Homo-oligomer: A and B are copies of this chain.
């Protein structure tokens, strides 16, 4: 297991975006997020970003998704230890019959 603590401390904002999005919209959403963050797992983007750029990214996403069907989590980790989770669309989106 690789230990990675590459995140800059101090005033920056580190963001993790995870999502469950309908097939028809997922490519468009990935293209949007990819302009702002790093694509690291199929449903996960991460990276350092400013509040302004993050808001721009979220505004673009909201024009594409259907909030009643799609689910996006924006985990915000601030350099000063503050931590927030913002939810766009569904609060929970899991296919329970899988387990």
Contact = CB atoms under 8 A, between A and B. Distances in A.
Contacts of A91: 2, 40
A87 interface: yes
Count of identical protomers in the assembly: 2
Interface residues of A, number: 47
A91 to B, nearest CB: 7
A7 to B, nearest CB: 6
A49 interface: no
A50 B65 CA distance: 36
Interface string A1-36: 111111100000010101110000011001100100
B75 A75 contact: yes
Given A42-B20, A77-B83, A1 B58 contact: yes
